[in-house]
């Protein structure tokens, strides 16, 4: 759970500040997304605080501290935005991007499968869950900003499609093995696959389902009616279910 929360917080921050949203949507959307990002990062710190192995205490504490730092930095840029210091708020917001990457690197060091491979899987998961979360929030934002063009949500849909492709690559690179011999993820669930192997199949299936939903969203947004965005938002709800289910399953292989 700590890994899923950390990835989602990181991905939400990336998309918020590395895409043109700053000049397209009202600042209220940044308050909305920033508040959820801060809660996710704080939740990741809380979930991770007592879950890392004692022989990895150094990396575990670092991951917790960086998660807290991300939550605090997110609150800081929202406060700066509240006091109309927009340039400073944007600078701090952009700085949360490398901070979140460092946080994921610290979490990757807790895996016995190799830091580099685990880091790539966490980066892919962050892009995947971040695109789903920000897409859902953006779809709701159209209810408050009737003059907002289709550009942002169309771009978010294409980004989700790309994230699905990257996530599938990460899942296949991760394979179907557990964290290490003797871990709970390597226990036998059925005569064919281990717990990790079965979870990997679920993750692949849920990721493919999310990709299919993204295609539906793109087709819906081709409609000219305003209700098309509302329908697309409804599909983003389904994407949240499939994406987060898939990510939880994918993280089973990290179990000690």
Domain co-membership, 219 together with 140: yes
Domain co-membership, 180 together with 224: yes
Domain co-membership, 120 together with 104: no
Residue 191 banded pLDDT, cuts 50, 70, 90: very low
Q: What are phi and psi of 194, to 5 degrees?
A: -80, 175
0.85 cut: is pTM over it?
A: yes
pLDDT value at residue 127:
97
Domain co-membership, 127 together with 223: yes
Q: How many domains does the chain have?
A: 2
Domain co-membership, 133 together with 78: no
Residue after which a domain boundary falls, among 94, 110, 126: 110
Residue after which a domain boundary falls, among 83, 110, 137: 110
Q: Residue 213 and residue 239: Cα distance in Å, rounded?
A: 6
Give the structural domain span for 186.
Answer: 112-256
Domain co-membership, 96 together with 165: no
Please name every residue paired with 194 in a beta bridge, in sequence order, or none if there are none.
188
Q: Residue 143 and residue 253: Cα distance in Å, rounded?
A: 40
Lowest-confidence pick of 18-22, 88-92, 250-254: 250-254
Domain co-membership, 163 together with 256: yes
Domain co-membership, 100 together with 121: no
Domain co-membership, 194 together with 146: yes
Tally of CB atoms within 10 A around 32: 16
pLDDT value at residue 12:
97
Domain co-membership, 15 together with 96: yes
Residue after which a domain boundary falls, among 61, 92, 110: 110
Q: Is the pLDDT of residue 41 over 80?
A: yes
Domain co-membership, 119 together with 80: no
Q: Is the pLDDT of residue 183 over 60?
A: no
Q: Is the pLDDT of residue 205 over 90?
A: yes
């Amino acid at each position: 759970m700590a890994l899923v929360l950390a990835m989602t917080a990181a991905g939400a921050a990336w998309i918020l500040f590395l895409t043109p949203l700053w000049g397209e949507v009202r600042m209220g959307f940044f308050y909305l997304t920033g508040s959820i990002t801060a809660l996710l990062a704080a939740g990741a710190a809380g979930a991770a605080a007592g879950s890392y192995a004692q022989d990895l205490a150094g990396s575990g504490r670092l991951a917790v501290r960086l998660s807290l730092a991300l939550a605090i930095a997110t609150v800081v840029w929202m406060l700066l935005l509240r006091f109309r210091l927009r340039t400073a708020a944007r600078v701090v917001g952009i700085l949360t991007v490398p901070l979140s990457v460092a946080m994921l690197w610290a979490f990757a060091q807790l895996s016995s499968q190799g830091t580099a491979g685990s880091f790539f899987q966490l980066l892919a998961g962050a892009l995947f869950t971040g695109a789903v979360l920000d897409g859902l929030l953006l779809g709701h934002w159209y209810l408050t900003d009737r003059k907002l063009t289709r550009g942002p949500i169309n771009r978010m849909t294409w980004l989700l499609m790309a994230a699905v492709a990257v996530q599938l690559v990460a899942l296949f690179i991760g394979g179907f093995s557990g964290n290490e011999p003797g871990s709970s993820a390597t226990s036998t669930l059925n005569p064919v696959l281990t717990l990790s192997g079965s979870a990997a199949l679920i993750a692949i299936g849920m990721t493919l389902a999310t990709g299919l939903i993204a295609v539906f969203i793109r087709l819906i947004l081709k409609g000219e009616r305003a209700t098309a965005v509302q329908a697309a938002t409804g599909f983003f709800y389904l994407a949240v279910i499939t994406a987060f289910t898939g990510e939880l399953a994918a993280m089973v292989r990290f179990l000690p």
